Chain A
Amino acid sequence: MAFAVDIDAGTAERGASREPIARPPGKPKNAVLAIENMNCGGCMRKIERVLETAPGIASVRANLSAKRVTVAFDPQDTGTETIIKTLADAGFRAADLAHNNIDDGNLADQDLLRRLAVAGFAAANIMLLSVSVWAGLASDMDEEVQSLFHWLSALIALPTVAYSGQPFFRSAATALKAWRLNMDVPISLALALATGMSLVQTIRGSEHVYFDASVSLVFFLLIGRYLDQSLRSRAKGAAQNLIGMKSGWATVVAEDGTSERMPARALEPGMRVLVAAGERIFVDGRIVSGRTDIDEQLITGESVPRSAADGDRVYAGTVCLTAPIEVEATAADKDTLLADITRLMETAEQNKGRYVRLADRAAAFYAPVVHTLGLITFLGWMWLGGGWEMALTTAISVLIITCPCALALAVPAVQVAATSRLFNRGVIMTAADGLERLAEIDTVVFDKTGTLTKGTPELSNSAGISEETLAAAAALATNSRHPYAQAVVRAAQSRGVRVVPTDGVVETPGAGLSRKSAWGDEERLGSADWCGIGPNSTSVDDSEAGASLWYRPSRGDPATAFQFVDVLRADAAETVAMFQSAGLGVLLISGDQEAAVKDAALTARIEDWFAEQRPNEKIAQLRKLEAAGRCVLMVGDGLNDAPALAAAHASLSPASAVEVSQIASDGIVQGQRLAPVIEAVAVGRRTRRMSLQNFAIAAAYNAICIPLAMAGFVTPLIAAIAMSASSIVVTANALRLTTAKLKL
């Protein structure tokens, strides 16, 4: 492959200038890394320099457009993880991308570009010859020269149509095999007929030859298809980079007690994985030793961590918060959560059925109409006594003039404009027909934790806690990765309280933190039990009863309650209001506990909410909405949302979502805000409207040209002008979308 050749050449060149190494170098390995924050030429240069000077690296090539670096290295001297660490030290967040899924988009791009280049060359040269012939008709070109020009055109056009037209022929053949009609069927038919008839006319020495029409049709359509494809592969690349960022490294403990770091995807059932406090767990499994708190937010949607110990099940995607544990991987089990969810997703996707795209719906209507008109023309001229030859020529010219050029460009041109607009505004559309489905939705279903909310708890009663207490609690809390502890530290910092970390703090997983003071008594931060507060404790008033965290000072003073809420994203309420005022229904369906969901629904002003919904119940809710005639957009991030994301009519997930959810949804929303969700729906709707507008333009063009063609007035010159003009109008109309101001 072209890219690989380039890399190898670079390797040889740089390798030669290096110092000779005593031991023979190992076979160089290539790795492709996604770099999240490589944004400018400076970053690119810095990354290359940093890696070039690192040991064991043979060659580095950064790609700024793709935000990726290709590194060739000697596996004896260095490894992917070392390289990632080197980059991290230089301030770049990098992730290893699985090798197999990288280049397919790029190859398809290049293939189309090659065909496009050939078609462009042919179209220009044939047009050169055709214009001479048209000009010659009015002056003095003799028949021999005209015939020579036609033969030359044929010589260029035949191989071009055969090569550059392949994508259309192949797609048409696939559709016909499945007894369906898509836009490529009329395109292929028109191409074949125009080229075939022109060849016959050339052999017979006739005046009307349509090689220019058939080749420029291929050229225009390939432009549309190439833009569509290259944008899609750019979006796919960005999505792969995002997903790659989520994969990580795990420490595997061997039988003999030695440990080894390996990429999470290389983990296998039966392996023992050591998970440090604060690390993500990459396997489904059972805890074999240790006791910790586990953040299961992405799996269950519940924001409060669960404590787990020996023998308890843990799931991939959860985070081990408070103490190191050792997990035995059991991912192969049929009864794991992940397996359940995958099964649910598969059935949800099957039930969804085949969505028929707008262009294909148009084709299913358009192709029979055009072909019938052609037939009528043929029969009409036969009946009028035009002779079969003349009748056939006119019928074919009807098919050529209705060449669905504008019609075939109508949708892709708008799609390209819409996708690139969204891409620039932080929405990566990954499903090809996602925008069309987004246009149809009338109900938005949000998940709570991590979607409507930030997914991190914030201290809610900070105003009622004295600065002294907050400082003391925060000093203990800095030692823990528990989200509540971190929220206490954040609250203290935001109030300007200086947080002094203390030593001698002991963390008891599932309970809390403690520190013995110099004179023997102990201060504690943790659950109610941990701080010695019973359910009937007299010192607790009602407002404090449900508090999740307590601080008990060492001197026997009364304990202080800390309460937390999972705050909504900054523009959550605003987003909900905008959807509602545009007449869309908004629902909140969450796996979290009732009180938390009710609270969030109240703040975001969502009237319909459902709490404690399991993944299959979420699907059931969606089915119920569907049965009521609603078209649902699901926005969710957790593993527990994945089946619902797959089942909904359209779906989006935030960039923080788990891998499975991002793959299940039609698009990924980047950033801390929810506003891009509105933008996505608005752009989807406008895309639909503009596609219909373009269809109208194409139809108007056909309404003028078809009668002319049926009457036998269409010369190759008129065909060429009409076709180019209609394609340009349709494309220009689509480009308006990139700058248009949109409202829901």
Chain B
Amino acid sequence: MTALAWLIPAALVLGLLGLGAFLWALRTGQFEDLDGAAYRVLDDDEPPTDENDRGEVRDR
């Protein structure tokens, strides 16, 4: 019985965490563009301009 007192709440909390995460993702529009997201991973955050093309990383 003591094991159940731990395990059942643990199972429920984990499940609720998952549900919460999904509802959060849905609310913030993570599923708006499933095709586009696949390409955005490959994209740099900043469009390449003259300055960052020269490469701040190399300068450092």
Contact = CB atoms under 8 A, between A and B. Distances in A.
A41 B36 contact: yes
Contacts of A64: 33, 35-36, 39
Given A44-B36, A65-B33, A145-B4, A2 B43 contact: no
Interface residues of A, number: 31
Interface in A63-91: 63-66
A125 B15 contact: yes
Given A41-B39, A52-B47, A2 B15 contact: no
A128 B19 contact: no
B28 interface: yes
Contacts of B31: 113
B29 interface: yes
Contact of B15 (A5, A42, A63, A121): A121
A117 B11 contact: no
A152 B4 CA distance: 12
Contact of B28 (A2, A53, A121, A145): A2
A288 interface: no
Interface in B1-26: 1, 4, 8, 11-12, 15-16, 18-19, 22-23, 26
Given A49-B47, A145-B4, A65 B11 contact: no
Most B CB within 10 A of own CB, among A2, A3, A42, A152: A2
Nearest to A70: B32
Interface in A630-663: none
B36 A63 contact: yes
B34 to A, nearest CB: 6
B4 to A, nearest CB: 7
B54 interface: no
B60 interface: no
A52 B45 CA distance: 13
B58 interface: no
Nearest to B1: A145
Q: Is the interface of B mostly helix, strand, loop or mixed?
A: helix
A124 B18 CA distance: 12
Nearest to B48: A49
Contact of A2 (B22, B29, B35, B38): B29
A140 to B, nearest CB: 13
A104 interface: no
A246 B26 CA distance: 33
B26 A114 contact: yes
B43 to A, nearest CB: 6
Contacts of A42: 39
B29 to A, nearest CB: 5
A152 B8 contact: yes
B42 interface: yes
A156 B40 CA distance: 38
Interface string A46-58: 0011001100000
A502 B1 CA distance: 97
A5 B1 CA distance: 47
Nearest to A155: B12
Nearest to A52: B47
Nearest to A44: B36
A125 B15 CA distance: 8
Contacts, number: 67
A571 B35 CA distance: 33
Given A64-B35, A110-B26, A45 B43 contact: yes
A117 B26 contact: yes
A152 B33 CA distance: 38
A117 B15 contact: no
Contacts of A704: none
B23 A66 contact: no
A82 to B, nearest CB: 20
A42 B35 CA distance: 12
Contacts of A2: 26-29
A40 interface: yes
Contact of A125 (B11, B29, B40): B11
Nearest to B49: A53
A157 interface: no
A519 B43 CA distance: 65
Contact of A3 (B23, B29, B47): B29
A117 B39 contact: no
Contact of B23 (A40, A44, A53, A114): A114
Interface in A139-156: 145, 148, 152, 156
Interface in A117-133: 117-118, 121, 124-125, 128
Contacts of B16: 121
Contact of A40 (B1, B39, B43, B47): B39
A63 B23 contact: no
A64 B38 CA distance: 10
A339 to B, nearest CB: 39
Contacts of A335: none
Given A121-B15, A124-B15, A125-B12, A63 B22 contact: no
B56 to A, nearest CB: 16
Contacts of A156: 12
Nearest to A40: B39
Contacts of A110: 26
A622 interface: no
A6 B42 CA distance: 21
Nearest to B22: A117
A41 B22 CA distance: 25
A44 B22 CA distance: 26
A474 interface: no
A53 B33 CA distance: 23
Given A64-B35, A64-B36, A121 B18 contact: yes
A48 B36 CA distance: 12
B8 to A, nearest CB: 7
A62 interface: yes
A117 B19 CA distance: 7
Given A41-B39, A52-B47, A3 B32 contact: yes
B27 A45 contact: no
Nearest to B21: A117
A110 B4 CA distance: 36
Nearest to A156: B12
Contact of A117 (B23, B43, B47): B23
A65 B36 contact: yes
A118 B20 CA distance: 9
Contacts of A125: 11-12, 15
A6 B29 contact: yes
B46 to A, nearest CB: 9
Most A CB within 10 A of own CB, among B18, B22, B29, B40: B29
8 contacts: A6-B28, A45-B39, A49-B47, A64-B33, A65-B33, A114-B26, A117-B19, A128-B11
Given A41-B36, A41-B42, A53-B47, 14 more contacts: A2-B28, A41-B38, A44-B36, A62-B33, A63-B33, A65-B32, A66-B33, A114-B26, A117-B26, A118-B19, A121-B18, A125-B11, A125-B15, A128-B11
Query: 3 closest pairs, A vs B, by CB?
Result: A41-B39, A64-B36, A63-B33
Interface of B: 1, 4, 8, 11-12, 15-16, 18-19, 22-23, 26-29, 31-36, 38-40, 42-43, 47
Interface of A: 2-3, 5-6, 40-42, 44-45, 48-49, 52-53, 62-66, 110, 113-114, 117-118, 121, 124-125, 128, 145, 148, 152, 156
